[in-house]
Amino acid sequence: MSTPLRVGAVIITMGNRPDDLRALIDSVAKQEGDPIEVVVVGQGTPVTGVPDWVRTVDLPENLGIPGGRNVGIEAFGPGGTDVDVLLFLDDDGLLAHTDTAELVRQAFTADPRLGIISFRIADPETGTTQRRHVPRLRSADPMRSSRVTTFLGGANAVRTKVFAEVGGLPDEFFYAHEETDLAWRALDADWMIDYRSDMVLLHPTTAPSRHASYHFNVARNRVWLARRNLPAPLVPVYLGVWLLLTVARRPSPSALKAWVGGFRAGWTTPCGPRRPMRWRTVWRLTRLGRPPVV
């Protein structure tokens, strides 16, 4: 029999949800199969109140979501290679079932080209999954598992070979679209991504705009995402579509002002290395139901 895949977990925290963090860690500890090593990264705050078996990293400042998660990855060796799979879990989430890690191991073992799994996020009170938490255009049925083109940042599992091959999350994004940046690079390297409705993270229903910099970062990072990853002819098409969609949603004057500022910053500030995806990857994204123009 083959050796079970080694699984670790990365959790980032700002120290403002200690009870939720402890409950999440407890849900990880209850997972069936081999124990999961957990690393908690404190974003500008010391990590306290966690069990002795949990490793902690205290950062002197908040590096943002991708920066903090990258630190967590490296805590498992270069590119996370001390383990085979890393779970990334929001600190106010909770694994709903005790067999999630085993399902993850089975999925990655059965499909050698599966690189990333996106979990279903459900509200703990209602069981509802928000449409934005289903990472595909046809999101009406959150109970349908499928191949997808991106994943949810705080409820996922990544094969660490993906990081070794395509690198980690883009630190400079700080928040918003960092998952899609990694997803596109992984797909361009011929890895696949699955959305699995049976792997559930309980998480309170929230609005993404709760982050103060949401509208600015969404616009700036959308431009960076295109500049970094898309073939040149698709960059204006992709950004033009998103400009029209944003206006059609009729944001408030303050939100639109922040969005325009972010859109401008996306063009005038460094976005990191440009590695345009192959046209065959564009076709793959299209066949999976989300061409990289929307």
**CB contact set of 166 (below 8 Å; sequence gap of 6+):** 182, 185, 186, 188, 189, 191
| Domain range annotation of the chain | 7-202, 212-288
**Short-list 39, 2, 202, 200, CA closest to 104:** 200
In angstroms, rounded to a whole number, what is the distance separating the alpha carbons of residues 88 and 91? Answer: 10
Query: What's the pLDDT score for residue 107?
Result: 98
**Short-list 154, 186, 146, 99, CA closest to 289:** 146
Q: What is the largest CA-CA distance in the chain?
A: 61
In angstroms, rounded to a whole number, what is the distance separating the alpha carbons of residues 13 and 62? Answer: 9
Three-state SS for 36?
coil
Query: What's the pLDDT score for residue 210?
Result: 54
Query: What's the pLDDT score for residue 176?
Result: 95
Note the pLDDT tens digit of each residue in 39-80. Answer: 999 999 999 999 999 999 999 999 999 999 999 999 999 999
Containing H/E element for 41? strand 37-42
Long-range contacts, 250-256 (Cβ 8 Å, 24+): 251/215, 255/209, 255/215, 256/215
Q: Other CB atoms closer than 10 Å to residue 42's CB: what's the count?
A: 20
Query: What's the pLDDT score for residue 138?
Result: 83
- CA 259 to chain centroid, in Å, comes to 22
pLDDT tens per residue across all 294 residues of the chain = 578 999 999 999 999 999 999 999 999 999 999 999 999 999 999 999 999 999 999 999 999 999 999 999 999 999 999 999 999 999 999 999 999 999 999 999 999 999 999 999 999 999 999 999 999 988 889 999 999 999 999 999 999 999 999 999 999 999 999 999 999 999 999 999 999 999 999 999 877 655 558 999 999 999 999 999 999 999 999 999 999 999 999 999 999 999 999 999 999 999 999 999 999 999 999 999 999 998
Alpha helices by DSSP H, the chain: 18-29, 64-74, 100-110, 160-166, 178-188, 214-229, 234-248, 253-268, 279-287
**CB contact set of 217 (below 8 Å; sequence gap of 6+):** 173, 174, 175, 176, 211, 262
In angstroms, rounded to a whole number, what is the distance separating the alpha carbons of residues 152 and 19? Answer: 23
Instruction: Kindly report the CATH number that applies to the domain delimited by 7-202.
Output: 3.90.550.60
DSSP 239: H
